[in-house]
């Protein structure tokens, strides 16, 4: 049985070329074409193709949003989506694969490989062009090298100092940290001073930045492990992590 395909691309010339290419490929039938993401979703729902060859950037509804809707349809008749684009940014790839795309190709992929890719994803496999795979690996490696470097800078800190830095980065004042860790405020101030010395930073703000860069805290306003007690949260100053005055020294 032939693989059925819907081609979605807002550029008429590109779309016509893809339709001609796939129509001439053995074992592949083009059953529809769309010039925007919304139309691609409609055709996927009515024609139930095996594969939707989807451009990333399209009007009305972009390819990633359209993919999310298509993949979220009935599992019994769910087409597979193969993304095709000139954009090779890792962010596009992460997002597309995250919403359920089965593959990602660049538009300069040789014609015979595009037809082969359609068959591959129709068979249930995932396909990512080699250059994109390399970029993903390099991005992953850079990210983890950065985290490793940040964590190595945190190495001199004691467990207690690490706890204090985590709470400083979460936005707690020295008084709140003292309540949280059952310490005196003077002791917390001493810990903060030693943290800054060990990290080689001259301000509380720089220590907070390093805490985020090292992965000690997550970039969502909270710490990497748990939240702030309600009582402490109520007393938190808006500029607790970066504030001036006694709490920031």
Domain end point (choices 90, 109, 136): 136
Residue 238: inside a domain:
yes
Closest to 15 measured CA to CA, from 158, 114, 130: 114
The answer to whether 120 and 51 are in contact (CB under 8 A) is: no
* Any domain includes 207: yes
CB 125 within 8 A of CB 143: no
Within-domain flag for 144? no
The verdict on 16 and 89 lying in the same domain is yes
| Contact of 85 with 57, CB cutoff 8 Å | yes
Q: Model-level pTM greater than 0.85?
A: no
Compute the distance between CA of residue 99 and CA of residue 105 in angstroms, rounded to an integer. Answer: 16
Expressed as residue numbers, the domain containing 193 is 155-248
pLDDT tens, 108-159? 888 888 999 999 889 887 776 655 555 554 555 555 555 555 566 787 888 8
**pLDDT tens for residues 83-112?**
988 766 666 776 777 778 888 888 888 888
- Is there a domain that residue 141 lies in? no
Is 49 in the same domain as 130? yes
Among 108, 190, 109, 207, residue whose Cα is nearest residue 153: 207
Q: How many domains does the chain have?
A: 2
Write down the pLDDT at residue 133.
53
pLDDT by residue (tens digit) across 187-211?
999 999 999 899 887 777 778 777 8
Place of tokens 């590109």: 14
Across all residues in the chain, what is the average pLDDT?
78
For residues 169 and 54, give the distance between their C-alpha atoms in angstroms, rounded to a whole number. Answer: 42
- Whether the CB-CB separation of 215 and 144 falls below 8 Å is answered with no
């Amino acid at each position: 049985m032939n693989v059925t395909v819907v081609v979605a691309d807002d550029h008429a010339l590109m779309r016509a070329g893809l339709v001609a290419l796939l129509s001439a490929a053995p074992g592949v039938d083009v059953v529809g074409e769309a010039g925007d993401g919304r139309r691609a979703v409609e055709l996927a729902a009515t024609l139930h193709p095996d594969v939707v060859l989807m451009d990333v950037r399209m009007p009305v509804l972009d390819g990633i949003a359209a993919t999310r809707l298509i993949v979220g349809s009935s599992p019994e008749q769910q087409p597979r989506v193969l993304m095709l684009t000139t954009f090779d940014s890792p962010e596009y790839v992460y997002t597309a694969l995250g919403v359920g795309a089965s593959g990602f190709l660049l538009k300069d992929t040789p014609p015979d490989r595009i037809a082969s890719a359609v068959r591959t994803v129709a068979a249930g496999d995932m396909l990512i062009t080699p250059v994109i795979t390399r970029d993903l690996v390099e991005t992953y490696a850079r990210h983890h090298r950065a985290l490793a470097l940040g964590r190595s800078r945190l190495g001199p800190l004691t467990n207690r100092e690490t706890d204090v830095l985590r709470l400083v980065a979460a936005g707690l004042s020295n008084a709140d940290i003292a309540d949280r860790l059952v310490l005196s405020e003077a002791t917390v101030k001493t810990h903060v001073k030693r943290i800054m010395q060990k990290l080689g930073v001259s301000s509380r703000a720089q220590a907070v930045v390093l805490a985020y860069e090292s992965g000690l805290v997550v970039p969502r306003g909270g710490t990497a492990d748990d939240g702030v007690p309600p009582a402490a949260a109520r007393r938190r100053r808006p500029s607790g992590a970066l504030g001036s005055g006694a709490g920031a020294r």
